[in-house]
Structure formats: C-alpha cells, structure tokens
Amino acid sequence: MAETRAAGKTVSIHTHGCKLNQADSQVLARQFQQAGFTVVNSPGKADVVVLNSCTVTATSDSKARQYLRRARRANPDALVIATGCYAQRAKEDLSAMEAVSLVLDNREKEALVATVAGHLKTTNAAPLEIGQGAQGRSRAMVKIQEGCDQVCAYCIVPKVRGRERSIPPEQIIGEINNWGAGGCHEAVLTGTQLGTYGHDLPGTDLKGLIRRVLAETDIDRLRVSSLQPQEITPDLLSLWDDKRLCPHFHIPLQSGSDTILRAMRRRYDTEQFSQTVELVRKTVPHAGITADIIVGFPGEGVREFAESYSFALSTGFSDIHVFPYSIRPGTSAAYLDGQVDSALKKERTGEMLELAASCASNFRRASLGQTRPVLWEPRKAQESTQWWSGLTDNYLRVRTQYDKDLGNVITNARLIALDQDWLTSEVV
C-alpha cells in the first residue's frame, strides 16, 4: 500500500515513558522522514506535533495533558496528535481536549503517518520501508516484542499493550543492520516482557535471538533493556562473555517486602531476587544493576516499607527508579483495601529517592579508576564548549573535555573524578 509524501512539512515527536515507546517513536521519525517530513525538536516550529504517551501512573497522564496544552499554546495552527498508551486507555478523554486534533491508539499507531498525510492532503508516493533512514542516531531502541500476559495487580500495561507478541528474528536483525548502516553504534533490545520472547515463535527464545544478533549483525554494542529475576539464568548470562553485550541489567524489583510482592502478584520473592543479583555480579564483573521500586502500594504499612527500604539498601543497586503507587482504573489493585495516604506516600517516596541517590553515588565512586568503553553523544548545535557526554557500557553517565569531535564515537575512557551526578573521565 502506497503511503503519502509531505515535502516541506515539519513534525515534532515527543516521547513519554518506557524504552518501548522510544522504539516506537524512532520508527515514527523514520516513517515521517521517508514521507517527506523534516523532523524538528521544537513543537513551536512544527506543522505536526506527536505525543507518544505513557499511562503507567496518574502523573504520566497529567504530564501528557500538560504537554499537549503547551504544544497547542506554542503552535495554535499545528496538527496536535496524541498516541501511545494513554491514548489507548482513555481515548475519549483525550479527544475531548481542545488542544488535541487527533487521538490514535496503539493499534492505530502503525498507520499514523498515513493518517497525518491524509489530513494534510499530500500526494501519493512510494511505500515506506521500516528500518531505512537511520541516520543521525548513536543508540537505537529496537522493539523485539510487545504486550504482557503476567497481569500484575498494579499494572495497566496488559490492557493498553495487549497479549505478548514476538517480532520475528529476521525482522529484528534487518532493523539492527539498517541502524548500523546508518552509523548507529548501539542497539537496545526493548519490549514489555523480554524474557518470554519467542514463546509464540517455534524454535526461538531470547538467548537464541541474542546469539543471532551477535552473529548476523556488526553493531558495536548490544544492550538488553529489562529482565525479570526469574528469567536470568547461568545459561543466558554465558552470552555476556561477548564484550559487545553491555554489562547492564535492569531488574524490576517493585518492592523489597515479600508481603507486598505477593499482593502485587509478582512471580518471585526477595530471596530469589537476591540470588539473581549475586549470580549477575559473579558472572559479569562491574555490571550495573538498576531496579524499579513502587512506594505506597495498598497494604504497605510501616513494617512493609521498612522491609523494602532495607532490602534495597542491602542489595546495593547502581541506581533505582522510584515510583509512588498510582491507582489505575481497570487493575485489581485499585480495589484493594489499605490504600496509603497521599502525604505518607510522598514522605516515603522522598526517603526512597534519597536512598536511590546514595546507591547511584556509591556505584559511581566504586567505579573510579576503571577504564571503560564510552559511546559519546553528538553535541547539540547550541553547545559550544569542548565537553562531551556519553554512556559507559555499564550505564554510567560520564563526561570529558576533548578538543576533537567525539560525537557518535566509542573510545575507552578512564573514570577519574566524581562531580555531583557526573563522572569525569579522560579519553585513553
């Protein structure tokens, strides 16, 4: 089916939420470019503004509405489009906003560019090919699966992303090769439930996919975005003998209290989580291990919060993403007794955020003196200093002062000093 072109038109794409949304937005950007649009950063300079939204918390919804109103104020004549998970969950609510021109849910996202072009009344052109137009990126988010069958008590994702569906390996490999041909050095495998990849594709699983990506692509770095603790096995970790696999593991914890984990319907307990972390550290030296923690889940009393805090402290994560529990209509947790008072939830969130900052600082401090590969990011046009920012293989944000162009280049760098949230390094 032929798509349409819009020569001279501009589009701004703004992304909220997870790496899966980032992957979707990167695909949208390529499709818009192939349809003749120029992608710009500022919504005030765009003919079309797209928000790829998140709905994991009430705060996510609020941020989406704020952005849509701000985009409309910045550009009263723009076509303002809401898509993503909030659009999937509450399409009518978003459609009622004066700031919004169109609402396209996740199922309609694949046809978004064609829909926009139709509204702009552009002319027919050649079909779009997913995976082309990869220029200008140093890291690519590559979706390998979507949806979740686990139905945790607090989570709206199964309703807005649907059942688990794996993308065929050949398509994933082709996309990574296209990104690499366009100058991209790192691919991040993303999805809602990566560990069950391939359950619907006979003869493949996550380990098999990673093996094929390493064998059939030349991408310099491959990162796995998130795995559940029960999915990390010695057999899977053996793949990290290949230095192209980044030693960073995001393992969602959600709570350090077994009582709360059972109420959340998570499929592990703190003992299994600890064993997994120990296995990772034993197998992959200097690995960064990050986690998510939800504070204030229904039934979380003083004891349960203390257990969660103590477990996170003893585990020694390299960073923690902290979220106050948010009631999501359509989830079972919304009907549980023991909802935590908002003021108490805010207080506990503050305590956990302080712990997260301390954990991150400790990991950065322990990394001083190491030499690690860094993928340096292209400098923005308005930046005129000789400072460069990048990410180590184990997901540390570092910077260096260098008088040559390091944009989209991987070098070794010695980590020499800690400056608040920054690690200062010198190129080796």
Confidence (pLDDT) at 7: 59
Is the per-residue pLDDT at 418 higher than 80? yes
Is the per-residue pLDDT at 159 higher than 70? yes
- Strand partners of residue 12: 49
Confidence (pLDDT) at 298: 97
Is 238 part of any domain? Answer: no
Q: Verify that 176 and 199 share a domain, yes or no.
A: yes
Is 236 part of any domain? Answer: no
Q: Verify that 380 and 361 share a domain, yes or no.
A: no
- How many whole angstroms separate alpha carbon 138 and alpha carbon 187? 9
The reported pTM is 0.85
Q: Verify that 362 and 389 share a domain, yes or no.
A: no
Is 239 part of any domain? Answer: no
Confidence (pLDDT) at 6: 57
Is 240 part of any domain? Answer: no
| Helix residue spans in 231-378 (DSSP H) | 234-237, 258-264, 270-283, 302-315, 342-366
Q: Answer for the pair 27, 151: CB distance below 8 angstroms, yes or no.
A: no
Is 212 part of any domain? Answer: yes
Any idea what the CATH number is for the domain that residue 35 is in? 3.40.50.2300
Is 98 part of any domain? Answer: yes
Is the per-residue pLDDT at 300 higher than 80? yes
H or E element, residue 154: none
Any idea what the CATH number is for the domain that residue 385 is in? 2.40.50
Is 237 part of any domain? Answer: no
Q: Answer for the pair 375, 186: CB distance below 8 angstroms, yes or no.
A: yes
Is 412 part of any domain? Answer: yes
| 132-154 pLDDT tens trace | 334 457 889 999 999 999 889 99
Q: Verify that 375 and 362 share a domain, yes or no.
A: no
- How many whole angstroms separate alpha carbon 273 and alpha carbon 251? 9
Instruction: Work out how many domains the chain is built from and give that number.
Output: 4
Q: Verify that 348 and 387 share a domain, yes or no.
A: no
Q: Verify that 15 and 113 share a domain, yes or no.
A: yes
Q: Verify that 221 and 142 share a domain, yes or no.
A: yes
The two tokens of residue 5 are 């072109």
Q: Verify that 93 and 145 share a domain, yes or no.
A: no
Q: Verify that 41 and 57 share a domain, yes or no.
A: yes
Any idea what the CATH number is for the domain that residue 294 is in? 3.30.750.200
Q: Verify that 322 and 287 share a domain, yes or no.
A: yes
Q: Verify that 15 and 30 share a domain, yes or no.
A: yes
Q: Verify that 72 and 149 share a domain, yes or no.
A: no
Task: Examine the fold and report which residue of 124, 153, 177 is the final residue of a domain before the chain moves on.
Answer: 124
Residue position matching structure tokens 């559940």: 228
Could you give the dihedral angle defined by the CA atoms of residues 312, 314, 316 and 319, in that order, rounded to the nearest 10 degrees? 10
Please give the residue range of the domain that contains residue 213.
135-225
Task: Examine the fold and report which residue of 96, 124, 152 is the final residue of a domain before the chain moves on.
Answer: 124
Confidence (pLDDT) at 128: 35
